[in-house]
């Protein structure tokens, strides 16, 4: 039985808690969220203990599920890894490449497992068609969503496009040769609409568009 705790009980955090309750190998110790009113509501609704601090929850767990805003992923991950806790981190891993590299290095140093929540890898539709990909040469992907303030602490690339980048890299077994990217910030300081053209050594080309302000 793995003793697991969760950081962040927003929209996705509540979903994670409900799913963790259905997995028999996990014993949910509790969760931590800085919003006390929300924490009390979720604790009463799901019957799961709310902790007053991240440190107090970490002390009782073997693993932690991080579902906080992206800009806090790095600090929570570092704190947990240094206490030798295994991690599941909702995508994106963190806000910058440097933060990601530090998490990778610390995970190796403390010999813990870190998994990132790329849920589209496990989408039944993708799993069903994956076997039919045989050296694809051109991929066109559009991920268009209505505006939702959740996730806007990072650009649309890290918020939405990252799923399609992950899928493309999963089916095109070749090194990236060139990337051309354009983006437009409409309602936030970072791009809300973006397009990326990724060229591979194999000759494959992926054209990916993502928007979080589409109707």
pLDDT tens-digit profile of 195-211?
999 999 999 999 999 99
pLDDT over 90, % of the chain: 88
Which ranges of the chain would DSSP assign to H, the alpha helix? 11-21, 36-46, 54-58, 70-81, 97-110, 124-130, 156, 162-171
Burial of 196 (0-12, 13-18, 19+ CB in 10 A): buried
Global confidence as pTM: 0.88
Q: How far apart are CA 111 and CA 104, in angstroms?
A: 10
Over the stretch 26-80, which tens digit does the pLDDT of each residue have?
999 999 999 999 999 999 999 999 999 999 999 999 999 999 999 999 999 999 9
């Amino acid at each position: 039985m793995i003793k697991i705790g969760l950081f962040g009980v927003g929209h996705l955090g509540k979903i994670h808690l409900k799913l963790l309750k259905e997995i028999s190998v996990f014993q949910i110790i509790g969760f931590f969220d800085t919003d006390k009113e929300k924490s009390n509501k979720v604790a009463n609704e799901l019957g799961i203990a709310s902790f007053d601090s991240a440190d107090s929850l970490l002390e009782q767990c073997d693993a932690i599920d991080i579902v906080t805003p992206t800009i806090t992923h790095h600090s929570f991950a570092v704190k947990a890894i240094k206490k030798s806790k295994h991690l599941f981190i909702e995508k994106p891993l963190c806000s910058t490449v440097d933060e990601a590299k530090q998490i990778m290095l610390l995970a190796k140093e403390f010999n813990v497992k870190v998994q990132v929540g790329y849920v589209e890898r496990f989408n039944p539709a993708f799993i069903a068609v994956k076997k039919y990909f045989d050296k694809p040469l051109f991929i066109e992907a559009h991920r268009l969503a209505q505006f939702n303030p959740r996730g806007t602490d990072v650009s649309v690339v890290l918020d939405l496009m990252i799923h399609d980048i992950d899928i493309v890299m999963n089916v095109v077994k070749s090194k990236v040769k060139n990337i051309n990217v354009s983006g437009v910030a409409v309602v936030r300081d970072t791009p809300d609409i973006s397009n990326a053209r990724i060229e591979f050594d194999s000759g494959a080309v992926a054209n990916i568009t993502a928007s979080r302000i589409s109707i």
